[in-house]
Amino acid sequence: MGIGDRFGLQGPYQLRAFEQALTQGVEITPVWNKSNREHNIVHTFPEDVRKEADAATATSKWKREYFVDADHINNSNVEKFIGASDFFTLDVADFIGKEAPAKDIETFLSSFKKYEGNLSVPGIARPFEISEKTLHEIAGKFLVAIREAGAIFKTIESKKGKDSFVAEVSMDEVSMPQTPIELFFIMGALSMEKVNFCTIAPKFTGRFNKGVDYVGDIKAFAREFEEDILVIDFAIQEFKLNRALKLSVHSGSDKFSIYPEMARIIRKHDRGIHLKTAGTTWLEEVTGLAMAGGEALGIAKGIYSRAYERREDLCAPYASVIDIHPDNLPRPEAVSGWSSEKFANSLRHIPGHPDFNADLRQLIHVGYKVAAEYGEVYLNAVKSNADLVGKQVYENLFERHIRRIFMQ
Ligand SMILES: [Zn+2]
């Protein structure tokens, strides 16, 4: 399970959620993830995440595996992650749709020619119809991205050594979902590129906005999710892939309406998944500050009001993963009069709570840049209220995420 921690103070509280799951027999490997974009905005380095993960696991006497994920990296920024990370999310979304050289397409077509016709995948009732045109289209869309994944993988492998890291291939930050059958051939081509990937993150049907619920057709998602899992099983056999290969869901956190479907399907097929949450742990920090009242509540309100003034700037880099309706955002003048409870209840994601405001929540989510600008003032407020803040972090991760997906 991927967890983010923008400001690096919540590791022990996050880990407590995994310990709690373990006492109930559910084994989940924590993966601390942070992208290059986050590092740049918060002014941190991959080594900081490594230090946090090592310290949290040492203090808590966590004896099991854990990882530090270089999240959404590419060949232009992977270098600085090499030393500190042992999990790499290779983001090749930008290369989807680029034109591949004709000879690469020929190789692809001849390699997969044997799947032309009616392709049956065990567990999926209807066979897929595969024509040369289908293969041609898949090659046209994905081949350059797959080759890029190969290039990044080789860079990492040459520096870290064979089998010394976990690789994920991600194509989720695009608008068009990949179909299960596209996923099948993508995995086949990745194996030809000698990418030893352990998880794969496609773009699923629907919107996965940051920190709020899924928007889309839940039944269509469930069907696609189940077919992806079955296609992965089939691909493991066909292409001799890593037996531990898992589907990865870059959830953006808080996809409560699809969690029950995911829980049902992984249980039905006895499969694991990699669930990547976004940096919503930082929203728990703001909730905790609001609850603390006084100066801390003032900081929470200050973050909101500055984020409100600069919303266009802050939202721009996240346009594809947020949907904020400005009309639903309360005016900072109104928020300045709010009580601790009113602020915390507006931000905390309890669907159906009369105060919950998904627009405010998304705005604060992208507003971590503002908190970073508060610098020590922000960090000290979080540290001064460590127990209260940590309780929010723990409860959110355990009660609202882990319990709903892995303990059903
Ligand atoms: Zn992602």
What does the mean pLDDT of the chain come to? 97
pLDDT in tens, 53-91: 999 999 999 999 999 999 999 999 999 999 999 999 999
Strands (E) across 57-191 are located at 67-73, 87-91, 117-119, 128-130, 166-170
How does residue 313 score in pLDDT terms, banded at 50, 70 and 90?
Answer: very high
Q: What are phi and psi of 247, to 5 degrees?
A: -75, 135
In the predicted structure, residue 279 carries a pLDDT above the cut 90: no
Higher pLDDT, 173 or 124: 124
CA 354–ligand 1 middle distance (angstroms):
30
The SS3 call for residue 91 is strand
CA 113–ligand 1 middle distance (angstroms):
32
CA 359–ligand 1 middle distance (angstroms):
21
The SS3 call for residue 84 is coil
Q: What are phi and psi of 337, to 5 degrees?
A: -90, 0
pTM: 0.96
Q: What is the mean pLDDT of residues 235-248?
A: 97
- Distance of alpha carbon 45 from alpha carbon 51, whole angstroms: 10
CA 248–ligand 1 middle distance (angstroms):
9
Q: Give the Å distances, CA to CA, from 253 to 6, 139, 349, 365, 395.
A: 14, 32, 10, 11, 14
CA 170–ligand 1 middle distance (angstroms):
7
CA 91–ligand 1 middle distance (angstroms):
8
Alpha helices in 240-375 (DSSP H): 259-269, 281-292, 294-309, 311-315, 332-335, 340-347, 358-366, 368-374
CA 278–ligand 1 middle distance (angstroms):
8
CA 297–ligand 1 middle distance (angstroms):
31
CA 47–ligand 1 middle distance (angstroms):
21
How does residue 175 score in pLDDT terms, banded at 50, 70 and 90?
Answer: confident
Q: What are phi and psi of 278, to 5 degrees?
A: -90, -175
In the predicted structure, residue 408 carries a pLDDT above the cut 90: no
Q: What is the mean pLDDT of residues 264-291?
A: 96
Q: H or E element: which one contains 255? A: none
Q: H or E element: which one contains 125? A: none
pLDDT > 90 in the chain, percent: 97
